[in-house]
Amino acid sequence: MKRHFALATILMACAATCFAQAIFGEKPRLVVGVVVDQMRWDYLSRYYDRLGDDGFKRLVTQGYSLNNCLINYIPTVTAVGHTSIYTGSTPAFHGICGNNFMIDGRKTYCTQDDSVQTVGSDLPRGKESPHHLLATTIGDQLRLHTDFRSKVIGVSYKDRAAILPAGRSANAAYWIDTKHRCFITSSYYMQELPQWVKNFNARMSTDQQVKAAGENIGLSPLCGTLTTDMAIAALKSEQLGKGAETDMLCVSYSQTDVIGHKFSTRGQHTDDAYLTLDKDIARLLQALDEQVGQGNYLLFLTADHGGAHNWRFMQEHRLNGGPWMADEIVRQAEAHVANLYGNQKPVILKNLDCRYFLDRQGIKEQGLDYQKVKDAIIEVLRQAPHAQYVIDYEHAATQSLPGFLRERVLLGYNYRRSGDILYIPEPGHYEYGPWSSPIGTTHGVWNPYDSHIPLLFYGWKISHGATSREVHITDIAPTVCQLLHIQQPNACIGEPISEIVK
């Protein structure tokens, strides 16, 4: 009896050991992150009957769909979204507080880095790096885990959409120089483009369609096709997924955002962008099948934010919506402060992404009280038409706000970079000024049209299915990291999605 019990114990221990080895020893050969800029969740349904079988539809019918994925911070803009996807964190911790923000009173572009040089052209647009990023990404953790043997590469039309997802330790990030019709990088990554990139650029620069599109290529679906071509070239030329360690490819499609800002959520331009993208995703999946092998790669597709319907379109259909006249409100606020305190110089440095950045140094030099100036501006904002909430960032934790909104405000607030005042317009209203397209749109607020995004997992160890359980953009990174059995990014606040990691 004892012998049978001992044998059973040994067998159970062996089975447990084999099970542990199977879990921890298995890994995909490649992880692919796909971000579609400004893609609303409902676009999957809107275009579904017009999609081919091998692009978006393949991911839906063979992968797992998280149908209630929400962005859990404000503002919902490109740089923040891309960073949050790959860090599992928010501006409060990863430090990327917008496409532009202020550091020490200076307007700073999210990837601006004057210490590096452009590689691949002579334009200053290549002076970019992830040095403002405070947290690690999935790719950084993968590189750390493998003692930097894994390769991580980012590709996009936009610099920030290539650089921030790939992380600080990436092997490369490539983005498009529209003037010279080529992909470029910076000396942060390398001193000279690889020969395969030079060859790709030589073909791209002489392509007649690319020439015809010119510097407006971001407004053409061709931009997504070029991004796909470049991603496939990187996949093959860098032999991603062919080595002993898991590699990562970060691909972001930006033309959907450029076209959305210009033409909004409806019409032929937007339709063409998504239907062409569907074909490009099919080509990317086919290349992954051929290069890495079906079932050998893990892919997720999501968005950095959504987009509002054009306010004129909303009004035409008797729906709530309208412009938030940001510049006019700034003028009113400045006049109010000057009338109260007699200051001769402006007190507002910038208005960025529904946030006012005050000139703290200038306020001090003029002998004004910072809190009183801020309160005066808040008074004007609260009286502005269609203002729903106006928030003193430093006191947001104690202001009268709905709980979910307070959490999103705090998760989006970085004391050193986010500014002083946040205003939230009524649903359907968004910033409008001379820079805006009258038939276009924008994004940036908490509402579902900006914060409800698609999230699809496909490939390695992913079963077909769907759920409407609420998950967050910050849950993507810890989910991928758990599947890879690597540590989460170092500022991660998300949780692994149980339906995916099981």
> Is residue 75 reached through a cis peptide bond, with omega within 30 degrees of 0 on the bond before it?
yes
Q: How far apart are CA 129 and CA 466, in angstroms?
A: 37
Give me the phi and psi of 175, to 5 degrees please: -140, 170
Cα→Cα distances 135→81, 84, 88, 164, 221, Å? 14, 10, 9, 10, 33
Give me the phi and psi of 7, to 5 degrees please: -65, -40
Q: Which long-range contacts (CB under 8 A, 24 or more apart) does 392-400 make?
A: 392/420, 392/421, 393/355, 393/418, 393/419, 393/420, 393/421, 393/422, 394/420, 396/422
Stretch (H or E) spanning 272 = helix 268-291
Cα→Cα distances 101→163, 165, 455, Å? 17, 18, 28
Q: Annotated catalytic residue: which of 9, 76, 78, 108?
A: 78
CA nearest to 51, candidates 59, 41, 62: 59
**78 tagged catalytic:** yes
Q: What is the sign, positive or negative, of the torsion defined by CA atoms of 277, 167, 488, 102?
A: negative
Q: How far apart are CA 161 and CA 158, in angstroms?
A: 5
> Maximum Cα–Cα distance for the chain, whole Å?
95
Give the rounded distance of the alpha carbon of 249 from its chain centre.
15
Position 470: which residue type?
Answer: E
Residues labelled catalytic: 78
